[in-house]
């Protein structure tokens, strides 16, 4: 077996697809050829990259504890008055 791998990508890019005329695409960054290589088309192999935005999330706003009406549980309110 022989392989072509797209191992290095520019910063901020990820492999999204691989195409090959005569090889077997194993993943977005891996094309494999079975031996012997004689008679095989060894050109026509393509790796497509896509810009991936950074996976950093910034949350902003207000943080609330409990529910807006003051309850701390979503359960139904008790309507009975219990005395001990």
- The number of CA neighbours under 13 Å toward the Cβ of 38 is 1
pLDDT in tens, 1-33: 899 898 888 888 889 999 999 999 999 999 999
For residue 24, what pLDDT is reported?
A: 95
Place of tokens 């309850």: 71
Residue 47's closest CA among 7, 11, 18?
A: 18
pLDDT in tens, 38-54: 988 888 999 999 998 77
For residue 49, give the 3-state DSSP assignment: strand
Predicted TM-score of the model (pTM)? 0.57
For residue 30, what pLDDT is reported?
A: 94
For residue 74, what pLDDT is reported?
A: 58
Residue-wise DSSP of 31-44: EEEPSP-TTS----
């Amino acid at each position: 077996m022989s392989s072509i791998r797209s191992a290095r990508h520019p910063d901020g890019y990820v492999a999204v697809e691989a195409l090959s005329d005569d090889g077997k695409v194993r993943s977005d960054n891996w094309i494999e050829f079975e031996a012997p290589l004689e008679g095989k088309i060894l050109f026509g192999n393509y790796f497509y990259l896509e810009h991936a935005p950074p996976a950093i999330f910034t949350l902003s706003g207000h943080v609330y504890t409990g529910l807006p009406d003051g309850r701390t549980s979503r359960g139904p309110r008790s309507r009975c008055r219990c005395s001990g």
